[in-house]
Amino acid sequence: GAVVSQHPSWVICKSGTSVKIECRSLDFQATTMFWYRQFPKQSLMLMATSNEGSKATYEQGVEKDKFLINHASLTLSTLTVTSAHPEDSSFYICSARDLLAGVKKTQYFGPGTRLLVL
Amino acid sequence: RKEVEQDPGPFNVPEGATVAFNCTYSNSASQSFFWYRQDCRKEPKLLMSVYSSGNEDGRFTAQLNRASQYISLLIRDSKLSDSATYLCVVNHGGGADGLTFGKGTHLIIQP
């Protein structure tokens, strides 16, 4: 199946710092990537939809100035958590939809990034 | 009402048993339906798409009832390796909508 990578796989940082997470589709092109967040014992929640070459679309309640998304190419989207605070500690997962997926809309998930803000 | 509802479990079943998961969704305009599997501290992995006609993949059978907005997953002859959280997932359609996840049903297969 299609492969999506994320980097870093985990990060620990001090409160107030910014953290950048990369999401790459390795063997396919993705005009659309999605960023999700999962708190312990909770479901994945969609944060934003990242569109190549245009602005991201954020879900209600997600601050676009805090979670900066850049989708500069068909294989790379980045999420930057600015001025991270302990409540931002979570499991951040990206997914990518194959440009050629058509009506199947299958999304392939990256391995996730665990963020711990102290 | 939550958009995608699942029984959280856990379901404890003996190896070899048949287990069924149910899921309901609230948005009647939903277009695509999936079951994902998530292992502890890992990303979700697609198990199978769900079609109105029902579909089967080995020991796994998925059913969709659009009228009742109900999705099911049946696992036959369960294996120890089937232990995981099973996520019911819905796509509401449109050009690039993200997925809406249920909270998942935790399955534990006991030897």
Q: Which amino acid is at A101?
A: A
Contacts of B106 (CB under 8 A, 6+ apart): B8, B9, B10, B11, B84, B85
**A10-13 and A113-117 beta bridge pairing:** parallel
Over residues B51-103, the pLDDT tens digits come to 888 899 999 999 999 999 999 999 999 999 999 999 999 987 655 567 889 99
Could you give phi then psi for residue B81, rounded to 5 degrees?
Answer: -70, -5
Q: Which of A43, A45, A104 sits opposite B49 (nearest CB)?
A: A104
8 Å CB contact between B7 and B103: no
Q: Touching check for A53 and chain B: CB below 8 Å?
A: no
Bridge partners (DSSP) of residue B25 are B4
**B11-14 and B105-110 beta bridge pairing:** parallel
User: Residue A104: its pLDDT value, please?
Assistant: 58
Q: Touching check for B102 and chain A: CB below 8 Å?
A: yes
Q: Which of B44, B91, B104 sits opposite A105 (nearest CB)?
A: B91
Question: How many Cβ contacts (< 8 angstroms) between chains A and B?
Answer: 53
Q: How many helices (H) and strands (E) does chain B have?
A: 0, 11
Nearest CA-CA partner of B80 in B22, B39, B45, B36: B39
Mean pLDDT of A102-115: 81
Residue A108 has pLDDT above 60, yes or no: yes
Over residues A67-94, the pLDDT tens digits come to 999 998 889 999 999 999 999 999 999 9
A1: confidence class by pLDDT, cuts 50, 70, 90: low
